[in-house]
Structure 1
Amino acid sequence: NIPESISELLNLQALISSCNPLLTTTLPSKIWMMKNLKYISLGRNTYLPSPRINKNLVTVMPNLEKFFGLCYTSCTNEVFSRIPNLKILTIDVPLTFQEEIIPYRLLDMSSLRKLEAFKLSWDNNWVKRYVFPTSLRRLTLSFCSKFIWEEISSTFIMLPNLEELKLKYCEADDDAWIMSDKDIFKSLKLLLLSHLNLKRWEASSDNFPNLKRLVLKKCPDLQEIPTDFGEICTLESIELHDCSATSEVSARNIEQEQKDMENNILKVYIHNSHRNRRIF
């Protein structure tokens, strides 16, 4: 645990240490008195105590911009409201997390109005648990489960500034992402899907009007990439890493169709470690 005496370092701006990822690092309550602190990174599971001293809310940490590895139990409205200028946040739910020990509750991050990048690792029912701020530009979800693909669309189209969406090692309750005409990711430029159980993907160019880069990694069950993606005028590259043969063929067909239309901007990169060679 971090000692209370750390609060005496009034000019400290960064608190960084490599801690055991399986253990919880506890910050002292006086951490809230460190007004110049900008950066906290103490491992994957750092407990930030309540900002109350003697039952009264203390002043905010006005300069804190980055917090890596915030503990799930510290994610309260009370804590979020006292770090209003946070720009980057990562949350790791412990592998030992159990609903009966830590009951379900809504985690409302809407007060983090300057948050630009958020990473969440290992959580169930995450869609129903979190309220995301509209300021988000970059979002990464890893090892999440118990959601349906329709919730991916309905939740994240509500983030008007979202430019990067990465889904890694996630397991949905269904295997088809069927997007409607209303599912429009207006600002999305990068979409990465990695190690997913997705089999069928139905979408059009209208769903991703500003997409520049599509990356698929280890999605062996995905049958094909939506053929209409070639019509996304901003799309510069499609990357496939160890995906199915049919999805590789669909990517090549999209590229060839664009070449036939004299569009040489779109590039397709296919990496297959099983064949031990790269195909363009």
Structure 2
Amino acid sequence: MKLNSLPLFMLRNLQRLDVSVNFSINEPLNIWGLPQLKNLTLRGTISLVPPRSVHHNLESIRLLDYRSCTDELFMRIPNLKTLGVDEGRKINLKCKAFSWFENLAYLYKLEDLHVCEKLLHPEFSTIHSMGTWSVEIFLPNLKKLKLFNTKLNWKNMYVVGMLPKLEVLILRSAGVGRKWKPKDGGFLGLKFLCIESCDLQIWKATGGHFPILECLVMCMDYFEKIPSGFADIATLKSIKLHECSKSAISSAKCIQEEQREYGNNAFTVDILRYDDFVDYFWY
């Protein structure tokens, strides 16, 4: 049965719709006959056309084709808190995919954003000067950001760090370049950082770049070492590693020793099995 042929008039009280299919739906999905719907999840990519009226109840969509991310749609789902965005089945690789990101400004209640594939345009770093507003008021309530295969250059990662309420950042094949030197003044509220399958080898960071970080999770074969300055992060509770080099593990152990010298005996370094590591992507 096709999704659009479901008798929606019989499901007006439905609040959650989970569809387990492994492909994207080419034609737009009509969910607007479900006024009580709060959560929409598809193991694939959804296309939506804007509804005629405002839907205040909808709080979560995973995954939405980026071409559906229009200002018209977002203005009609103002209470959305969770959004996953993908490029869909068919994409013109020559198409500039940056404007969809600007439209996220209409989702001022958004708390959890998941971006898949190459949807962050190289001009992403200009977001701090787009229009008449700044990154400090762009996505003001965003707490979790997951970037999967976005290929964002490390030099532009400072823009992510400027999101005022960001607490969780998960990067999976999301960073381009061998070296990351964070800028001062960012990631002030970040508590959880997970980095996996990136090109990063040299991380020039101090504890001041992640002042209240609590947990660092890493999985990178060629990464050299965790910055020694992480020993100065008083809030740090654990470093968790999976398939990391011996030098990276050794650096984590050195940080553990220093943390214990400071009296933080609860600090741990954990070597994760694959099953345990994967769980952190759904943190």
Q: CA deviation at 1:89?
A: 0.9
Tell me the equivalent position of 2:181.
178
Kindly indicate whether residue 51 of structure 2 is the aligned counterpart of residue 60 of structure 1.
no
SS in 2 for 1:79: helix
Tell me the equivalent position of 1:278.
none
Q: CA deviation at 1:36?
A: 1.5
Tell me the equivalent position of 2:18.
16
Tell me the equivalent position of 1:210.
212
Quick check: 1:34–1:61 contact (8 Å CA) kept in 2? no
Give the counterpart letter for 1:141 in structure 2: L
CA 1:227–1:272 in 2, change beyond 3 Å: closer, same or farther?
A: farther
Tell me the equivalent position of 1:54.
none
1:236-279 Cα distance to aligned partner (Å, 9 max, x none): 00111111111111111111122233321321113488xxxxxx
Q: CA deviation at 1:4?
A: 7.5
Tell me the equivalent position of 1:276.
none
1:76 pairs with 65, 70, 80, which one? 70
Q: Write the distance in 1 (CA, Å) between the matches of 2:50 and 2:56.
A: 16
Quick check: 1:2–1:27 contact (8 Å CA) kept in 2? yes
* Paired residues for 1:17-166 under 5 Å: 17-24=19-26, 26-28=28-30, 31-51=31-51, 58-94=52-88, 96-100=90-94, 102-107=95-100, 108-126=103-121, 128=123, 133-145=139-151, 147-153=152-158, 155-166=159-170
1:47-75 Cα distance to aligned partner (Å, 9 max, x none): 11133xxxxxx221110011111112111
Q: Which 10-residue stretch deviates more, 6-15 or 84-93?
A: 6-15
Query: How many residues end up aligned between the 2 structures?
Result: 259
Q: Write the distance in 2 (CA, Å) between the matches of 1:39 and 1:180.
A: 37
Where does structure 2 lack aligned partners over 5 or more consecutive residues?
128-134, 275-283
Q: Write the distance in 1 (CA, Å) between the matches of 2:35 and 2:28.
A: 19
TM-score, structure 2 normalization: 0.83
- Aligned-residue CA RMSD in angstroms? 2.2
Quick check: 2:58–2:79 contact (8 Å CA) kept in 1? yes
Q: Write the distance in 2 (CA, Å) between the matches of 1:94 and 1:27.
A: 13
CA 1:215–1:126 in 2, change beyond 3 Å: closer, same or farther?
A: farther
Q: Write the distance in 1 (CA, Å) between the matches of 2:272 and 2:63.
A: 32
Q: Which has the higher strand share?
A: 1
TM-score, structure 1 normalization: 0.84
1:198-240 Cα distance to aligned partner (Å, 9 max, x none): 01101111111111000001x1221111101011000000111
Tell me the equivalent position of 1:55.
none
Give the counterpart letter for 1:158 in structure 2: M
SS in 2 for 1:246: helix
Percent identity over the alignment is: 33
Quick check: 2:56–2:79 contact (8 Å CA) kept in 1? yes
Q: Write the distance in 2 (CA, Å) between the matches of 1:11 and 1:253.
A: 56
Give the counterpart letter for 1:143 in structure 2: N
Tell me the equivalent position of 2:279.
none
Kindly indicate whether residue 186 of structure 2 is the aligned counterpart of residue 197 of structure 1.
no
Runs of 4+ in 1 over 6 A off after TM superposition: none
Q: Which has the higher helix share?
A: 2
